[in-house]
Chain A
Amino acid sequence: MLTYTLRRLLVAIPTLLLISLVIFLLVDLAPGSPASEIPLTVPAEVKAKMIEAMGINEPVHIRYLLWLKQFFWTEPLYAIDAAFGTDFADNAPRIISYSSKVPVIDYIAERLPQTLIVIGSAYVIAILIALPIGIYSAYRQYSWFDQIGTFVSMVGYSVPTFFTGLLAIIVFTSWLGWFPSIYNTSLRVVDWASFKQQVTQMFLPVAVLALFNAAELSRYTRSSMLENLSQDYARTARAKGMSERTVVLKHVLRNSLIPVITVITLGMPAIFAGAIVTEQVFKINGIGAALIGAIHVNDLPVVQTIAFITAILIVLFNLVADILYGILDPRIRYD
């Protein structure tokens, strides 16, 4: 297993390099230029200097290599410096956002907590809701519970979050006035009152996203459970006199979880990337919003870096999914 993991990590390096090149070129080839964001009132020679300062007029391969060096070498050095108070980085140039002029990594670090709190808790809640629903729907297939669950999942999965989000805002904010529609990023949780406020403002986006994710996951869980409930080994477990609880929650669930875990794990990178649409709808100042903002103003370094970190996470969680697969299913061993 260890050899397998190391081998997979090594293979990931060329994969990621290729992905980084594709991302860089794609973003670079896209129409528009960061220079177009400079107001027309700025004199031409000043504009030229600004362009030079941003490094946009270098050829693309130079900019790519520079970005690579900064991403894989300079930024980790800064991270080490920040953690241990050392000075390895020695003021080397960092990846700087064109529009806000701060290091991209700092910019991301500033946005990340909002995304992790809102999208992350939505994901966790979705899992906690979806698994029991999926298990029970399968165990009582075609019961009322299952029928209603199926209907809700279908609706939850097929209606996009920008619709459910707006609907939730209309109902719960405009009509009922229970929850705010805008997420206040600057809120600091210091006491009970601010904690309550934080929970209130998180409620709608978390509910909308959790419904969407739970709908998908509960379907996976249900179909996987159904497949396994009719297997011979479930009958064997019953013939041994095991209780229904043991049969379903031990024998069948363990087998059914294998594909479900994969789906959950592969969905993890999406937490980082943020639910772009939901963040827009509820004005959450997270990574998704940062990405959209950066695309609007042609802030190439931000777009490239966010896209690339997402790519790294996807590759990483693919590996994690494979390793979990091997742990859960003894028939799959990679050595």
Chain B
Amino acid sequence: MAERAAPVLEVKGLRTIFRTRGGEVHAVNDVSFHLNRGEVLGVVGESGSGKSVTMMSLIGLLPAPPAENRGGEVLLGGRDLLKLDTRALQEVRGARVGFVFQDPMTSLNPVFTLGDQLMEPLRKHMGMDRTAAANRAVELLELVGIPDARRRLKAYPHQFSGGMRQRVMIAIALACDPDVLIADEPTTALDVTIQAQILELVKELRHKLGMAIIWITHDLGVIAGIADRVLVMYGGQVVEQAPVRELFANPQHPYTRALLRTIPAISGPREGRLKVIQGQPPILMAPPAACPFRARCDYRHDRCDRENPLRRAVDGRPVGQGHDVACHWTAPAPVAEVIHA
């Protein structure tokens, strides 16, 4: 992978808050990452870690109010998306950035035909007429493996199964040949065999179309299967970033390690009860002044309470390029002994 080539998407210091009755919730705190051409970037973290919110705020998909951007840059093709007005942003959404959401059962409009919904972005962004859009829609449906595509244009979402609907969602996201595809837990709502099919489909499409993909999930198994590089998020910030093999072989952050321990081993002796991470991710009512993971961390020490750790390189390459982690422990934190006070 040509790492030094200009990334297709670059996010710097993104901050997003939600205004609520109880005050401001800091959902995205100084998130930076980049996405290379043709790369699959996996984003992991449990529910509430800020991964979906980060990706949605890139492209202004969060309802505002209550969501509000508090700084940062989102560079796509040399333009800062956060500075675009609504109309210009609409030109980017669906055209240069495609989105696939979690629940295919509710993500399609029940009262319009699949053809209608598939042709909408084509007509808006590519200026196609009905016939051209219909032909392209058939092509897209065939691309995502839906047989008898021309007849299916007239079908309604309720006539399709969950897996088929997710294929249609992917076709919609790919309609205008986007540079970036953001997939927000696209397989979570599907059963395991369909999950595998969708994963295969996306891998295949990625090689065929050469787009870059951000794949949000809480399933590390999926990450291992599809991602080139992984971003681990917690408390609305990036806590670890590494190529996928490196992350699984040499996890640095206690949270990453804890996540890896929650995967049951298929072979070998049974380890007793499956490990869990106790507690919930925090809801931050102020910008984090301390490590957000400290309350659940087995290696907490007094510095963790005073100072939010910055991301630092693990393997000597610049932060974001190789392996980096946001933890005060410079040597790998002690694994065996728990130094809990």
Contacts and interface: CB of A to CB of B under 8 A. Distances in A.
A238 B109 CA distance: 12
A254 interface: yes
Interface size class of B (residues with CB under 8 A): 20 to 34
Given A239-B99, A254-B112, A329-B111, A232 B94 contact: no
A275 B225 CA distance: 68
A241 B106 contact: no
Contact of A239 (B91, B94, B106, B156): B94
Contacts of B92: 241
Interface in A222-245: 231-233, 235-244
A233 B110 contact: yes
Interface in B68-102: 86-87, 90-95, 98-99, 101
Nearest to A251: B109
A331 B108 CA distance: 13
Contacts of A238: 61, 93
B111 A242 contact: no
B90 A243 contact: yes
A251 B93 contact: no
A281 to B, nearest CB: 41
B110 A242 contact: no
Given A235-B61, A236-B169, A236-B172, A241 B91 contact: yes
A239 B60 CA distance: 9
B156 A237 contact: no
A328 interface: yes
B110 A329 contact: yes
B103 interface: yes
A255 interface: yes
Contact of B107 (A233, A242, A243, A255): A233
Given A232-B101, A330-B158, A241 B95 contact: yes
B124 interface: yes
B120 interface: yes
A242 B112 contact: no
Nearest to B60: A238
A232 B90 contact: no
A232 B108 CA distance: 7
B156 A330 contact: yes
Contacts, number: 77
Contacts of A258: 111
A236 B101 contact: yes
Contacts of A254: 109, 111-112
A242 B124 contact: yes
Interface residues of A, number: 22
B150 interface: no
B213 to A, nearest CB: 15
Interface class of chain A by DSSP:
helix
B215 to A, nearest CB: 16
A329 B158 CA distance: 11
Contact of A231 (B59, B99, B106, B175): B106
B152 interface: no
Contact of B90 (A236, A241, A251, A331): A241
Nearest to B93: A241
B124 A330 contact: no
Contacts of B173: 239
Contacts of A233: 106-110
Interface string B260-304: 000000000000000000000000000000000000000000000
Contacts of A255: 109-111
Contacts of A329: 110-111
A246 B172 CA distance: 17
Nearest to A234: B109
Contacts of B124: 240-242
Contacts of B120: 237, 240, 242, 246
Nearest to A328: B111
A254 B86 CA distance: 24
Nearest to B90: A241
B136 interface: no
A331 B109 CA distance: 11
A243 B121 CA distance: 11
Interface in B101-142: 101, 103, 106-112, 117, 120-121, 124-125
Given A241-B95, A251-B109, A254-B111, 19 more contacts: A232-B101, A232-B103, A233-B106, A233-B107, A233-B108, A235-B61, A235-B101, A236-B107, A236-B169, A239-B99, A239-B173, A240-B120, A241-B92, A242-B90, A244-B86, A255-B109, A330-B156, A331-B110, A331-B158
Interface of A: 231-233, 235-244, 246, 251, 254-255, 258, 328-331
Interface of B: 59, 61, 86-87, 90-95, 98-99, 101, 103, 106-112, 117, 120-121, 124-125, 156, 158, 169, 172-173, 175
24 contacts: A232-B106, A232-B107, A233-B110, A235-B107, A236-B169, A237-B109, A238-B93, A239-B98, A239-B99, A240-B93, A240-B124, A241-B91, A241-B92, A241-B93, A241-B94, A241-B95, A241-B121, A241-B124, A241-B125, A242-B90, A242-B94, A251-B112, A328-B111, A329-B110
